[in-house]
């Protein structure tokens, strides 16, 4: 594992904690799922091994980041992402957005910042409202509210048992989340329509999914994104803890110079679906929640919500 540094960046309305490693550009800016933090990406960043500059963000209300203005909505998180990239002086970067923050990354991309070269959306929330009933969203929120509730959520969403260390990280990250940050996603973010302006996205976009995911399977995501980002390509992978299943996605055009750094990141993301979840990441079978680990099998939304 390469050397990492931490700092807090003041954006408009938040104090955002980031973790940095590597050097050079294009950089990769990693955005975590609902319930995670920047360290969600530790295992992925470890395997990139310094070949790319990596910036992992604690979104406002998660990890060590604080919303000083009391806002936790998707637009505010997108503002923070842009504030971080500006404060870091990034001239070329790729956003890697996971689940909830896949939606945040879509908002950023629709604004067309000049320095954004491409998107890697990992099990992203779709741009249109998710068809989840209010009572079911309430049950999801309740499961994130106690040490007893988080393992119950893991029983529903984890495709395979977690190690004790990973389990504890998940519980810690989830419970540390600001109550209003948790509520914002289930009460508004999940059902918010952010599709307006997505047709302006012309940068290369990759959507990474697990081929056994039954929560947001590939056909559903193709339909959701096909209307607004029709040029997006999909990378689907079967989980198998015993072997690497590399994805040789060619996204070097992100840099416009043939630079292979971003391709390495995309390959790393896809490859590690087969061997590791992001550090402390629970939702190994879920399209909404990320990178698949060995033996992970997604469940249908209906079955998940019944269990919740």
Segments making up each domain of the chain, as ranges: 4-307
Beta strands at 116-122 and 93-98: parallel, antiparallel or unpaired:
parallel
For residue 236, is pLDDT > 70?
yes
Lowest mean pLDDT among 114-128, 141-155, 171-185, 271-285: 271-285
Mean pLDDT is lowest, of 66-80, 116-130, 154-168, for 154-168
Enter the DSSP assignment of 242.
T
- Cis omega (within 30 of 0) for bond into 26: yes
**Mean pLDDT along residues 176-181:** 96
d(CA 277, CA 273): 7
Sign of the C-alpha dihedral, residues 27, 32, 38, 44?
negative
Q: Per the structure block, which two tokens stand in for 9?
A: 């960046």
Q: Which of 47-51, 112-116, 179-183 is least confident?
A: 47-51
Q: Averaged over 249-268, what is the pLDDT?
A: 40
Q: Judge whether 89 and 14 are in contact, CB under 8 Å.
A: no
For the record, the structure tokens of 257 come out as: 């110079």
For 185, the enclosing helix (H) or strand (E) is helix 179-187
Residues contacting 276, CB < 8 A, separation 6+: 43, 44, 47, 291, 293
Average pLDDT rounded to a whole number, residues 141-162: 80
Residue 168 structure tokens: 């504890």
Name the token pair of 43.
């295992």
**Which SS3 state, helix, strand or coil, does residue 8 take?**
strand
Tell me the pTM: 0.81
Residue 307: pLDDT over 70: no
pLDDT(50) > 60:
yes
Mean pLDDT for 236-242 is 48
Query: Which of 115-124, 226-235, 271-280 shows the lowest mean pLDDT across its residues?
Result: 271-280
For 166, the 3-state DSSP assignment is: helix
**Residue-averaged pLDDT of the chain:** 78
Give the C-alpha separation, 277 to 268, whole Å. Answer: 12
- How many percent of the chain have pLDDT more than 70? 71
What mean pLDDT is predicted for residues 221-244?
72
E strand or H helix at 54: strand 54-57
pLDDT at 225: 92
Q: Which tokens go with 174? A: 């989830």
Apex 176 CA angle, 175 and 181, nearest 5:
95
Q: Read off the pLDDT of each residue in 88-113 and give the average, rounded to a whole number.
A: 95
Span of 50-54, 100-104, 172-176 with lowest mean pLDDT: 50-54
The CATH number of domain 4-307, selected from 3.40.50.1820, 3.40.50.410, 3.30.420.140, 3.40.50.970 = 3.40.50.1820
Give bridge partners of residue 66 from the DSSP assignment.
15
């Amino acid at each position: 594992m390469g050397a990492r540094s931490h700092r807090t960046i003041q954006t408009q309305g938040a104090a955002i904690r980031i973790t940095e490693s590597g050097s050079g550009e294009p950089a990769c800016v990693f955005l975590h799922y609902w319930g995670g933090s920047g360290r969600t990406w530790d295992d992925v960043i470890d395997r990139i091994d310094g070949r790319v500059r990596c910036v992992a963000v604690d979104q406002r209300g998660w990890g060590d980041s604080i919303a000083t203005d009391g806002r936790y909505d998707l637009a505010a998180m997108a503002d923070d992402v842009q504030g971080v990239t500006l404060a870091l002086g990034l001239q070329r970067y790729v956003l890697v957005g996971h689940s909830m923050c896949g939606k945040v990354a879509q908002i950023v991309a629709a604004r067309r910042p000049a320095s954004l070269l491409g998107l890697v959306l990992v099990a992203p929330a779709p741009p249109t409202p998710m068809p989840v009933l209010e009572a079911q969203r309430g049950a999801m929120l309740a499961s994130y509210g106690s040490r007893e509730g988080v393992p119950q959520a893991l029983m529903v969403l984890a495709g395979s048992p977690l190690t004790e260390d990973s389990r504890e990280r998940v519980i810690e990250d989830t419970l540390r989340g600001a109550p209003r940050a948790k509520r914002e996603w289930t009460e508004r973010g999940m059902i918010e329509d952010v599709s307006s302006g997505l047709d302006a996205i012309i940068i290369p976009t990759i959507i990474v999914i697990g081929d056994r995911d039954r929560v947001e399977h590939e056909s559903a995501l193709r339909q959701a994104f096909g209307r607004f980002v029709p040029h997006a390509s999909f990378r689907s992978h079967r989980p198998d803890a015993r072997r690497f299943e590399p994805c040789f996605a060619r996204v070097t055009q992100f840099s416009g110079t043939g630079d292979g750094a971003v391709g390495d990141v995309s390959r790393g993301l896809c490859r590690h679906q087969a061997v590791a979840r992001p550090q402390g990441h629970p939702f190994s079978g879920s399209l909404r929640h990320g990178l698949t680990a060995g033996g992970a099998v997604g469940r249908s939304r209906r079955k998940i919500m019944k269990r919740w």
